[in-house]
Structure 1
Amino acid sequence: MNTTKILIALSTTLFWACTEKPNEAGTTEIENTMAGNPGEISAPDDGGLASESFASDTKNGLKLGSCLAGLADSPSLAKRAAKAATIAENSSNGLPKAYILNDGNGNYQVFVLKVMDLCYVEADLLTKRSGDTLEIEYGPDRVESACTCYSDHWFDIAPENKDIRYFKFSGKIYEIDPGPAPGPSKKVKKTDEGPELTDARDGQVYKTIQLGEQTWMAENLNFEIEDGVQSWCNGNKGENCDKYGRLYTLAAAKTACPPDWHLPSVDEWPTKGNGGYSAFYAYGVEGWGNAKDEYGFAILPAGNYQAEFQNFLEPGLLAFFWTSTIDKLNHNCPKMIHVGDGFEGMVSVCSDNENDGLSVRCVKD
């Protein structure tokens, strides 16, 4: 039995309904973010099928996916997702299909569309072959989420297993289809881009997005406080303000948002500011670690200003946001949102110093 390390990081914030667009077969098309790079696909070698579906992200045991629909929060959404998956998976002999992919360089994968699985799993994969069937299952020592969702899965397999006829995962058997693999599923954007916001105070224009019933800035605030003391560009470099927005003291943050917009509370933040790594994955700007920016929220690692030491934490590692929440049960500490590409993910924590310079995201009244 072979063992491979795997990480599946999927968004657990699934309370926005999907917009469905049936294709010719009547199934729901939802964009998947892990489809690999078609430009890197070369000709197949001995008998394998090269495919644009090959996901280079799964090399060395790292596998990431993207949820199609949440099953816990919306019964109607769950029914639609289940129906779409059933239509897509059923074949003439009753077995759903799987596909063998080859990148042309001797690397092989089993590709399965619309698998109902845990939203987040970190585990060893146990691989076992019996005759013409290859079985893959999660090892006993694993970290997992409570939610489930539909997503496309890519599994790295050894070249000697490319001739299998059946594939088994999570108790379900798939028949290997020798034909060309379909493209990855398409994902409906779970948010809508809102109208641009022009700040009448200085003429700056910000992108906005709609998250449920909330309208958010999709960029960090970059309004300069008049006295020039309560906000900074990171490192006192203007280009950092242009990219990451300004850093504000708490007092400045409370008054910095444009008219009809305000500094959000912890409860107003997505996942109430405590979404862990899944929230980082879903809301961090694409290109920051493994973040995929599922919702267009585009959290940037803007760094901060540390008042006690009078120095800056440079951009590129962490993000910190002021909130309007005061924790009265914890010495009246002001709460901030801490975001990083590590075990912390996205968490709401107490701030050490109200004079530190943190980023600001504004939400519409």
Structure 2
Amino acid sequence: MNHKHLVYSFILFSFSLNLVCCSKDNPAPGKGKSSAIFNPNKEYGTVTDIDGNEYKTITIGTQTWMAENLRVTHYQNGDPIPNVKDNVVWSQLSTGAYCSFNNTKNLDSIATFGYLYNWFTCVDERNLCPDGWHVPSDEEWTTLVTYLDNGDNEFDPNGTGTNGLVGGRMKEAGTTHWAIPNQGDNSSGFTALPSGSREYSDGFFYNTQRRCFYWSTSKFSNIVSFERSMSANYTSIVRQVLPNGNGMAVRCIKD
């Protein structure tokens, strides 16, 4: 085999190796691989963000949601979202920012749990969701929860109360990621994961494996806004208000 044939063979091998490495089961370098456990009886779609991250999507009632936590680092127009690691700086923010839980660099963990964003990121007009998607309002969350209530009449959409069953229908099943005694069955396909939170007051991280918090764009006042949360200890979902500077997960909804 002459030198030219050797070069061609090497190029062909490199191209084939690249195809394998970038397949769905072997994500491209820098992306990580999610270990989330989805409902095998549900049909999922996909959507891709500006960074090239692909997410599963699920239609529930009349709405289509991401079935994975957002992990984008740029707004839709390409502007970078600041990655703020310092606790003091985080506690003083009044503009958009993101971080990973405990500032981890583990790409598989980030692919599984996503990033934590403050509320200012969620309402930025540059939009952190993919084209044709947006961060849900409090009303859109209520539509989802009311649909999953299935007539159980345990949810008060006008209060800050809980629903006894809906959270379990939304949480990933089992205890691979959720702490014991997680009773989630993920019958909705939403696949909520215990991504934890970052407190505005001190910049510290809390609640990994035990709770998830999801932002809405709806503010209650100039300092707090509505969100939804779930816990490993309960099958409920809670509607409450938390400081706009908190770092929490984001699920986008289709326009």
Q: TM-score range by the shorter chain?
A: 0.5 to 0.7
Structure 1 residues 333 and 235 mapped into 2: Cα distance closer, same or farther (>3 Å)?
Answer: closer
Tell me the CA shift for residue 293 of structure 1: 0.3
SS state at 1:238 partner: coil
**Corresponding residue to 1:284 among 160, 166, 171:** 171
Is residue 235–residue 314 contact of structure 1 (8 Å, CA) maintained in 2?
no
Name the CA distance, whole Å, in 1 between partners of 2:206 and 2:223. 25
Structure 1 residues 265 and 348 mapped into 2: Cα distance closer, same or farther (>3 Å)?
Answer: same
Corresponding position of 1:228: 83
Structure 1: 5+ residue runs without aligned partners? 1-187
Tell me the CA shift for residue 360 of structure 1: 0.2
Decide which structure has greater strand share.
1
Does residue 355 of structure 1 match 2:230? no
**Greater relative contact order (Cα < 8 A, sep 6+):** 2
**Corresponding residue to 2:236 among 345, 349, 355:** 345
**Corresponding residue to 1:259 among 131, 139, 144:** 131
Matches within 5 A, 1:3-18: none
Query: Which of these two proteins has the greater Rg computed from alpha carbons?
Result: 1
Corresponding position of 1:37: none
Name the CA distance, whole Å, in 1 between partners of 2:164 and 2:198. 24
**Corresponding residue to 1:196 among 36, 46, 52:** 46
Tell me the CA shift for residue 327 of structure 1: 2.9
Corresponding position of 1:318: 211
SS state at 2:45 partner: coil
Matches within 5 A, 1:70-109: none
- Aligned-partner residue type, residue 252 of structure 1: T
Does residue 271 of structure 1 match 2:164? no
Is residue 198–residue 205 contact of structure 2 (8 Å, CA) maintained in 1?
yes
SS state at 1:324 partner: strand
- Aligned-partner residue type, residue 253 of structure 2: V
Tell me the CA shift for residue 212 of structure 1: 1.2
Is residue 212–residue 230 contact of structure 2 (8 Å, CA) maintained in 1?
yes
Is residue 45–residue 56 contact of structure 2 (8 Å, CA) maintained in 1?
yes
Does residue 206 of structure 1 match 2:55? yes
Using structure 2 for the length normalisation, give the TM-score: 0.62
Name the CA distance, whole Å, in 1 between partners of 2:166 and 2:120. 27
Structure 2: 5+ residue runs without aligned partners? 1-39, 75-79, 85-96, 147-156
Tell me the CA shift for residue 343 of structure 1: 5.1
Name the CA distance, whole Å, in 1 between partners of 2:195 and 2:135. 18
Is residue 184–residue 235 contact of structure 2 (8 Å, CA) maintained in 1?
no
Post-superposition, which runs of at least 4 consecutive aligned residues in structure 1 deviate over 4 A? 272-275
SS state at 1:355 partner: coil
Using structure 1 for the length normalisation, give the TM-score: 0.44
